């Protein structure tokens, strides 16, 4: 059985092919639950996609975590990108860093310490009894949700999977790339790439190969591929 990467983004599958011999895209619109961490979101998606596909799946969830904003926008990065926008989010991050001890000065002004994080969730119906943690077993049942989320449309039952899917364990792999939020530079990439600087270069100034070599998704994929090769 082939491994399916559940995504509508062909770029992600091309990136995964650099780490995995046999992976193909599965275009399936799984429910993106709201939660304050990436892990439960990827786990819920992987469970739902596995139930749909009946073959091994990976699902990823990613976001930008700004130190001076206590990790915000994090799992809400897509929403914030499409509401506040990248430039304004970057400015808010740098001003918050200037007001607190969350940044450095680079000569051109304040920059904010941040990280991109990506969590890959893998599900094939197995219970991973012999593998190291973290494995999401759906036991959170919503208690980790922010109070606001609990009162909103996302119910505990949805997070847990009221169809019994919560019992399907999902193995999680996290990749993190540290960086700094700077004034926008470069016109490649997508999302927050122009304001995210890693080792002196923004992600938007890198070509795809350079970015993939250091990116949060690349790091999570590398961890997953190592483990999957032993499986």
16-to-4, 121, 128, 134 alpha-carbon distances in Å = 10, 14, 22, 21
Which of residues 161 and 189 has its CB atom nearest to ligand IMP in the complex? Answer: 189
- Reply yes or no on whether 151 is catalytic: no
Among candidate residues 21, 29, 60, 61, the one labeled active-site is 61
78 binding ligand IMP? (CB under 6 A):
yes
Binding to ligand IMP, residues 104-143 (CB under 6 A): 116
215-to-49, 77, 116, 117, 209 alpha-carbon distances in Å = 25, 16, 8, 9, 10
**199, HSE (Cβ side, Cα atoms, 13 Å):** 7
Which of residues 149 and 193 has its CB atom nearest to ligand IMP in the complex? Answer: 193
- Residue 44 beta carbon to ligand IMP: minimum distance, rounded to whole angstroms: 13
203 binding ligand IMP? (CB under 6 A):
yes
Binding to ligand IMP, residues 177-196 (CB under 6 A): 189-193
**Of 43, 223, 47, which is closest to residue 125 (Cα–Cα)?**
47
Q: Classify residue 164 as exposed, middle or buried by CB count within 10 Å of its CB (0-12, 13-18, 19+).
A: exposed
Among the listed residues 13, 52, 53, 81, the single contact to ligand IMP using CB under 6 A: 81
**Could you list the residues that contact ligand IMP (CB under 6 A)?**
61-64, 77-78, 81, 116, 189-193, 203, 215
Which residues participate in catalysis according to the annotation?
A: 61
């Amino acid at each position: 059985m082939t491994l399916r990467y559940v995504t509508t983004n062909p770029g992600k599958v091309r990136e995964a092919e650099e780490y995995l011999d046999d992976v193909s895209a599965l275009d399936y619109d799984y429910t993106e639950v709201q939660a304050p961490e990436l892990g439960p979101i990827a786990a819920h998606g992987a469970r739902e996609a596995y139930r749909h596909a009946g073959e091994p799946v990976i699902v990823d969830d990613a976001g930008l975590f700004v130190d001076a904003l206590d990790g915000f926008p994090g799992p809400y990065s897509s929403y914030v990108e499409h509401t506040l926008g990248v430039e304004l989010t970057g400015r808010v991050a740098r001003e918050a860093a200037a007001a607190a001890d969350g940044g450095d000065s680079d000569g051109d002004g304040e920059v904010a310490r941040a990280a991109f994080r990506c969590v890959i969730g893998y599900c094939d119906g197995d219970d991973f009894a012999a593998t190291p943690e973290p494995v999401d077993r759906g036991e959170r049942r919503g208690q980790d949700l922010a109070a606001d989320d609990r009162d909103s449309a996302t119910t505990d039952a949805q997070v847990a999977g009221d169809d019994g899917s919560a019992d399907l364990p999902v193995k999680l792999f996290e990749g993190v790339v540290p960086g700094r939020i700077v004034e926008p530079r470069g016109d490649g990439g997508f999302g927050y790439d122009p304001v995210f600087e890693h080792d002196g270069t923004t992600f938007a100034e890198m070509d795809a190969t350079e970015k993939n070599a250091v990116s949060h998704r690349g790091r999570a994929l590398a961890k997953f591929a190592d483990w999957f090769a032993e499986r």
